[in-house]
Structure 1
Amino acid sequence: MIKTTGPYLLGIDFGTESCRVAIFDLTGRPVTFAATGYKTTHPRPGWAEQNPKDWWEALQASCHKAMANAGISASDIAGISYDATTMTVVAMDDKGNDLRPAIMWMDVRATEYSKRAEESDSWARLVNGGGTAPATAEWYPFKAAWLRDHERDTYGKAHRLVDAPDWVTYKLTGEWTTNINSAAERMYYNRDRGGWPVDFYETIGCGDVFDKIPENVVDLGTQVGELSVIAAQLLGLTPGIPVAQGPADAWAGQIGLGVVTPGKMALITGSSHVLTGQSDKQIHGEGFFGGFTDSVVKGQYTVEGGQVSTGSVLKWFKDNFAKDIVAAAEQTGLSPYDLLGQKAKNVPIGSDGLIINEYFQGNRTPYTDSKARGIIWGLTLAHGPEHFYHAIQESVAYGTAHNLEVMKAQGFEVKEMVAAGGATQSREWMQMHADVSGVPISLTQVGDAVALGSSMLAAVGAGLYPDIQTAAENMVHEIDRLEPNQERHEEYQFYLKQYMAGYPQMQELIHATVDHESQA
């Protein structure tokens, strides 16, 4: 526990695997963290569900742990905010009881409904690659339409059908709101065009769902209510604490990295990469998602890209082809990734001609292609395990740079990336990202940017800072900056172009193989 002075802010993070509670002071210094896990079930292939009761119990446990660890009084908590996964859809009755398990963000049961988006000429389609990219079954209207057709009784009884962050709002305050982040980024809401695209929802097959969506669409950091007496008793807190509107988890991370003005891009790393940043003008285009109106900061537009498989590909290699390294790491107490990095550090740029494409689980952007698969090419008998590891690292950096190139071609140029997550534990890999892309990368003091972002919104909702930008100025602190090596950047451009050209050459063959395997 770090000794600081109050007031304190409590941030709640409902991730895929656990509920984390963090306590920060007004300077952005962490006091303590606590986490409690819960289960995901997969009733059928492509389905993923969680029980909201498990979420609520996990929040209670984590909150009590955090307060006990912090050693502070409940009265010292000046504000609360939160984030949760998106689109994790929860059906609730008129008494606030969940009617079925939540349909998780990763659930793709609604694929046939997402294909209906191609039949629509609505402006809503613009956020999917300027209208050229397929819609994803993860998003709200498709899951709503599936529920309407396949579980008509549940759909009929649902007083509210909300994204997980809005479930949290209700549980903490008893108020029903729709957060602007989920609405704009995953529900096709656009204030610039008058709100909801009713015609689009009707094409999908759920034009009547608006009766189930809370009418009050609220900007992030706005106070949505006060902590209720019941919630306070269960969480071990004081009733009446201001509760601020929270977003989806990735965008809480963006806020926690201080990416709240145009020109910066948050690079949130882990099993996958999420790239998200701000523009001062509306922008749509092929190869990325957005721009989403007001979704993070009112008056700005958010653009988004992403790589499905990044850290997960390194893990795949470690688990399947580096068991000797894993054993050595266990004996020495070092990270197996550090040992792999040491072995690969002398591999030259381009990995002696070995190029890997990281689309092992499909592509989010720039192709939005669920049938995409990984490619390994340029193999020779001179290549060893260290080449593979280095080439995988390069492939992820190439994928990030490719996304930035696509955005730049549409008028969104990134001047700086701010990174968080697992990849930042390797300075060498982060430097590779900077060298390949030619864009500087900043690292911030608090690694858990998601929890910090929620706490920053709590500060705004409590009136301790006037807006999100001021909270960022006071609570986000840069500790390192990696400038691209220009010589290495120029040398990387040949290999980046080869990487970018590779998948389009193989796409038709890969699709045919995937289709064949699905029919086997």
Structure 2
Amino acid sequence: MSRACTIGLDGGTGGARAMVVALDGTVLATVDSPYETRYPKPGWAEQSPADWWAAAVRSVRAAFAAAGVSAADVRAISADGTSSTLVALGDDLAPVRPAILWMDNRASAEARAMTATGDPALRRCRAGVSSEWMIPRILWLARREPETFGRSRWFVEMADYLALRLSGRLTLGHNQITNRWFYDGRRGGWPDAFFDRIGLPGITERFPAEILPLGTPIGPLSPAAAEDLGLSPETLVVAGGTDAYVAMVGLDVCRAGRTAFITGSSHLVLPMVDHDGEIPGLFGPHPDCVVPGLSVIEGGQVSSGSIVRWWHDHVARPMQPEGDAYAAMMRRAAEIPIGADGLVALDFWQGNRNPYTDYDLTGAMFGLTLKHTPDHMLRALLESVAFGTENILRTLKDAGSPVASMTVCGGSARSDVWLQMHADVGNLPIIVPEVAEATVYGSAIVAAVGAGAYADLPEAAGAMVREHRVVEPDAGRHARYAELFEIYRDTHDALAPLMHRMARRES
């Protein structure tokens, strides 16, 4: 049976996910294929772009087959990718080294040096430049691997690389460069004077000149890609973007006053706003990067779901090799009282993005006694991540931009325990959509706009995204968490000097 559809392709931290979606928003099939992350040194993280493409091919082929549609039914495909994952390409458009993954913090010194300039280009990151952003990574490459830097003709994001493999055309996503590369289309584009100042003169000559907004057609699949994927060479490739920002489309956060809550390896709180005011401690506003005329404020946590995954892999799974270790560990954590009987944890396992923007911070836990069990420790870790989200929400509220509700996707949406904890700590309702995999779903919606099925992203998201349920906060539990949150913040203040001292020792 013929059914017009699109394919979303998500290049995530742990693997490539493909989703086939009918133009009315019905999900026809979803398939994941994993790839490896390597950690050459503490705080470093790298992946192979070849692994990305191999996993993408497996996922797209399997999802397409499972959807039961014909190649002619697939109107378009769009890919998103992890944010500021640096891909350095040679003259032949092949990677010259492994990709530096978004969570890698090797460029902390470069980020601090950029912050110290106080340049006007830093207006959207007053709290400090994040070592996760693209320009610090490129500066690190120029300083620490000059030979590799010299062989690098082009610098792109993961989403740009996937678009290149799909279409054969080298492009740069407007979405990515606006929220991570200091590009500002409302203020002249690239801040060339700033790049000169930090030691990257002429660097924009190594950025692809063709800059495409989210949802813009790039062109048809290349013959090679069509053969690899088993799709028609007439299938349109549509410009994607940063995974979390594409997820805003998949959550229908395309109008001012709505807020996306993206959960996974990291957490992001992303309010869509109609103003251009900065908020100290947060990033943005990033103008026009999702919807023209609107901006996105960004508050993020580097380590959230990745902490829970670590606990599952290294503690829960070895203790329970059979059955669903994740469900069992979350169930036991839910039985521990609020506050974990005096156990306090910090969620800075890969540093802090917001509101401290300090990548020398590390994870911590104090208050351990012989009364405590591993379940207490997990409870404290879960609470620490919820407190990290609340730290961002408090920063927004204190700046006069309170969040009324959040629409969630990702790992937390699959855990009633953790979702309720976030609602209670933040004292706000959390909306759960029918499709929890909002990132790859957002890419499919982006593809539908590029294919001409809808006039723009707000119209497409409004037609395709549907609400499933709302998690309401409990006022009593919120009051108990509020006191614990202050202890969480005081713990950061007390331990940060020691963490900085250790970072200097290890550098």
Provide the TM-score with structure 1 as the length reference: 0.89
Distance change (3 Å), C-alpha of 1:503 and 1:419:
same
1:38 is aligned, of 35, 38, 59, to 35
Is 1:455–2:444 an aligned residue pair? yes
Where 1:10 maps in the other structure, the secondary structure is: strand
Partner letter of residue 242 of structure 2?
A
Kindly state the Cα deviation for residue 462 of structure 1 after the two structures are TM-superposed.
0.6
Q: Distance in 2 between matches of 1:488 and 1:5?
A: 51
Partner of 2:118: 121
Is 1:470 aligned to residue 459 of structure 2?
A: yes
Contact 1:87/1:139 (8 A) holds in 2: yes
Q: CA deviation at 1:464?
A: 0.4
Correspondence 1:243-282 to 2 at 5 A: 243-282=237-276
Deviations 1:338-360 (CA, angstroms, capped at 9, x unpaired): 33344344443333443332223
Inter-partner Cα distance in structure 1 for 2:363 and 2:431: 29
Given the alignment, which residue of 155, 160, 165 partners 2:154? 160
1:82 Cα shift? 0.8
Once the 2 structures are TM-superposed, how far is the Cα of residue 41 of structure 1 from its aligned partner?
4.1
1:483 matched to 2:478? no
Deviates more, 1:415-424 or 1:179-188: 415-424
**CA distance 1:106–1:308, change in 2 (3 Å):** closer
Structure 2 length-normalised TM? 0.91
- CA 1:429–1:207: 2 relative to 1, 3 Å: same
What are the equivalent positions in structure 2 for 1:438-449 lying under 5 Å apart?
Answer: 438-449=427-438
Structure 2: how far apart are the matches of 1:387 and 1:42? Answer: 29
Q: 2:404 aligns with which of 397, 411, 415?
A: 415
- Name the counterpart of 1:100: 97
2 CA distance for matches of 1:179 and 1:153?
A: 27
Counterpart-to-counterpart distance in 1, 2:4 and 2:53: 25
**Is this contact kept in 2: 1:114–1:204, CA < 8 A?**
no
* Conserved? CA contact 1:325–1:340, under 8 Å: no
Q: Partners in 2 of 1:370 and 1:191 — Cα distance?
A: 29
Residue 426 of structure 2 aligns with an amino acid whose one-letter code is S
Alpha-carbon distance in structure 2 between the residues aligned to 1:90 and 1:322: 35
How many Å apart are 1:32 and its aligned residue?
1.4
CA spacing shift, 1:506–1:44, aligned 2, 3 Å: closer
Instruction: Tell me what 1:394 maps to.
Output: 383
- Over residues 355-385 of structure 1, what are the superposed CA-to-partner deviations in whole Å (9 max), with x where a residue is unaligned? 3322233222111122223343445555444
Task: Answer whether contact 2:13 2:265 (CA < 8 A) is retained.
Answer: no
The whole-number CA distance in structure 1 between the counterparts of 2:350 and 2:151 is 36
Change (3 A) 1:349 1:45: closer
Structure 1: tracts of 5 or more residues without a match? none
Quick one: which of 55, 60, 63 aligns to 1:58? 55
| Residue of structure 2 equivalent to 1:132 | 127
Q: Percent identity?
A: 38
CA distance in 2: counterparts of 1:503 and 1:209, whole angstroms: 37
Q: For the structure 1 residues 49 and 381, does the alpha-carbon distance in structure 2 shift closer, same or farther, using more than 3 Å as the test?
A: closer
Structure 1 residue 157: Cα displacement: 4.8
Distance 1:403 1:473 in 2: 27
Displacement of 1:426 in angstroms is 2.0
> Shift of the alpha carbon at 1:188?
0.5
Partner of 2:220: 226
Deviates more, 1:435-444 or 1:10-19: 10-19
CA separation of 1:477/1:47 partners in 2, compared to 1, >3 Å: closer, same or farther?
Answer: same
Q: What does the per-residue CA deviation read over 1:468-489, in whole Å, with 9 as the maximum and x for residues that have no partner?
A: 1111112211111011122322
Structure 2 portions without partners, runs of 5+ = none
- 2: CA distance between counterparts of 1:264 and 1:140? 27
Match of 2:354 in 1: 365
What is the rounded CA distance, in whole Å, between the counterparts of 2:8 and 2:443 in structure 1? 5
Residue 496 in 1 paired to residue 485 in 2?
A: yes
**C-alpha displacement of 1:127:** 2.0
Tell me the distance in 1 between the aligned counterparts of 2:477 and 2:41: 47
Instruction: Kindly indicate whether the alpha-carbon contact (under 8 Å) linking 2:78 and 2:446 is maintained by their aligned counterparts in 1.
Output: yes
CA RMSD of aligned residues (A): 2.6
- Aligned to 2:470, the other structure's residue is in SS state strand
